Amino acid sequence: MEGYKLEDKVLKFEDIDLSASYTYADYLKWEFDERLELIRGKVFRMSPGPNTFHQQVSGAVFYALYNFLRKKPCKVFAAPYDVRFPRQSKDDKEIITVLQPDICVICDPGKIDARGGIGAPDIVIEILSPGNNKKDLQNKYEVYEEAGVREYWIIHPVERTFIKYTLDTNGKFQPSRFLTLGDEVTSPVLLGFSLVLDEVFED
């Protein structure tokens, strides 16, 4: 494996070789403040701290999901929350993708442990920020589809748009139409849930 020895602590982001490949075991050794994600072993820097509108949208969506899911089996989590995506082995040294979705819903308690999520969430929600659109729309899309995430929601705060990708029986994402002000979002994963976009995007 390329990268640093597992017993070494890495205290500075500058000590990471961005051309190398890493695993979740390496990720656990990084003790700096910089927020990173691993996608197929490669390091991706996360965008700078979310702006005010991003935070307002995130809070509105999380609040709606949290209230709906109280005393229900599914649980909702907000970033920073590590979700590991094992391919075969769940061993830390074998996991090469670790993401921090803005919000995720996990309905299988077996996919939740003390360190975060392990396996595909049922719903992943990404709220776009300047600078992270390409990663969210391309790299993460591929990871979520391959892992079997049932629904992938992408919210664009500035344009006030919402699109939902739903996994079909062939394991491929199918897009909804673009939703915006005046629309409500429902989900077969969460029967009875409704997200009013006018409330999500209010100033």
Per-residue pLDDT at 4 exceeds 50? no
pLDDT in tens, 147-168: 999 999 999 999 999 999 999 9
Distances (CA, A) of 40 to 29, 71, 113, 153, 174: 18, 35, 22, 21, 23
Which H or E run includes 127?
strand 123-127
Q: What are phi and psi for residue 52, nearest 5 degrees?
A: -60, -45
CA dihedral angle for residue 138, residue 110, residue 80, residue 194, rounded to 10 degrees: 70
Residue 41 contacts residue 21 (beta carbons within 8 Å): yes
**Nearest residue to 102 via CA among 148, 140, 145:** 140
Domain range list for the chain: 52-200
CA diameter of the chain: 54
Q: Which of the two residues, 136 and 36, has the higher pLDDT score?
A: 36
Q: Which of the two residues, 44 and 137, has the higher pLDDT score?
A: 44
pLDDT in tens, 111-158: 999 999 999 999 999 998 876 667 667 899 999 999 999 999 999 999
pLDDT in tens, 50-89: 688 889 999 999 999 999 999 999 999 999 999 999 998 9
Per-residue pLDDT at 181 exceeds 80? yes
Strand, coil or helix: what is 94?
coil
Which H or E run includes 57?
helix 52-69
Per-residue pLDDT at 5 exceeds 90? no
Parallel/antiparallel/unpaired status of strands 116-118 and 112-113? antiparallel
CATH superfamily, domain 52-200, is tt1808, chain A (3.90.1570.10)
Query: pLDDT at position 6, please?
Result: 46
